[in-house]
Structure formats: C-alpha cells, structure tokens
Amino acid sequence: MANHSQLGFQDASSPIMEELTQFHDHALMVALSICTLVLYLLAHMLTGKLTSNTVSAQEIELVWTILPAMVLIMLALPSLRILYMMDEINQPDLTLKAIGHQWYWTYEYTDLKDLTFDSYMIPTADLPLGHFRLLEVDHRVIVPTGSTVRVIVTADDVLHSWAVPSLGVKTDAIPGRLNQTSFLVNRPGVYYGQCSEICGANHSFMPIVVEAVPLANFENWFSLSSS
C-alpha cells in the first residue's frame, strides 16, 4: 500500500500514476536547481564576490527574464502531456459507475447486465484479522488487469470524491453531474482509497477498495455475482 519508509507516494500501479511520479521527481529536481542557484548567488553577494561592479544590470535582466521562461517550459510541456493522457479515454474495455452517498459508495457495472451493489466500510469490531482498519469494505470493486476501466462518478446527496492514490485517480462526485476518469491496472492486487472531499460527519468512513484480478478470474466473479 505504501513504501516501507512511509515517505513519498504509494507504489504506482497504473501508467498514469507512473507518469505522475516521474513528473513529481522532475519538478522536484527543477526546484532543487533553482534553490541551489539562489543560494550560490546569495553566498557570493554576502562575501562581496558579486557586486554591481562585476555584473552589469543588463546581464542580470537577461538572466532573470530568460531563465524563468525556460523553467516554465520545462514544467509546462510534461504537465500538459500528462493532462492530455488523463483526459483521453479511447474505447474503454469496462465502464464502472461510482455513486457517492452519505456515507458509502454504490457501484454499477453498466456494461455487464447492470450489476449493482453497495460498498460499506467494515466496522472495526467485525474486521477480519490482518485487514486494514477504516479501509476495508464488505464489497470490493473487482476489475480485470490490463484493461482500460472508465469510471463515471456522481453523487446522490453532497459532494464526494472518488480517489485511489496508487492508481492516480481522483475525481469529484457532484450531485446532478457526471464526471469521468479512467485507469488501467498493471498488476493484480488490492488498492485502497478514500473519499477525498469533506462530505459530513462520517467523511472518513467511506473507503474505496479496488481489487485487480486476471481476466479469467474477473469473468468467474461476474458470473457468480450476477447469477
């Protein structure tokens, strides 16, 4: 669910999250380079090595005009690329509808005979041994690995947000409006998320659990669930 040091992002399990992690590292290196340059200039100014006699005002103006423009380009180009990848949904293999309620989720597999179920958090007293407190649910979202899943997100009462960090997904659920996002899970596993919008007193008690399984296992699960 997270790395052993408990620092940084959760392990990426989708192509989008891998891109977001790489962009984060890229932006961090740009920020580190700027801080290093500024500290270098400050040190030279304090020691008297950099004064108005050694550097002309015209040179300084060129530097602080061209350098920020280059930094913005270095950040904008990969950022726009990732935004396009996140918004582009071409021929999804599966459509899932997530409806937020106070305080649980309802899921509909609209492509598969309208399979519908509610997903509630398991109370701590009923939690099986070894499961995560406040994160486990009674009915998980089952998706096939290697398939593009389109998620249509909405809400029934107030604002919610369907978010699974390791999949790079976070979409607001707004009453009367349909938002959509997509993800593709690289490997089998169980991925946890939570509602990321302050939606009331029990906001912290409506987790999201996505279980990715091979396609054959998904078909077996669906045949059992729909029978």
Which DSSP string corresponds to 44-65? HHHTTSS-TTTS-HHHHHHHHH
Same-domain status, 60 and 109? no
Same-domain status, 60 and 134? no
- Residue 9 domain-assigned (yes or no): no
Domain count, the chain: 2
pLDDT tens readout for residues 70-106: 999 999 999 999 988 888 777 899 999 999 999 999 9
Same-domain status, 68 and 32? yes
Q: What's the pLDDT at 91?
A: 85
Is the pTM higher than 0.85? The answer reads no
Same-domain status, 117 and 216? yes
Q: What is the 3-state secondary structure (H, E, C) of 185-200?
A: CCCCEEEEEEECCCCC
Task: Look at residue 52 and tell me whether its pLDDT is greater than 80.
Answer: no
CATH value at residue 180: 2.60.40.420
pLDDT tens readout for residues 164-196: 999 999 999 999 999 999 999 999 999 999 999
Lowest mean pLDDT among 56-70, 75-89, 119-133: 56-70
- State the helix-helix crossing angle for 15-46 and 57-87, rounded to 10 degrees: 170
List the beta bridge partners of residue 152: 97, 180
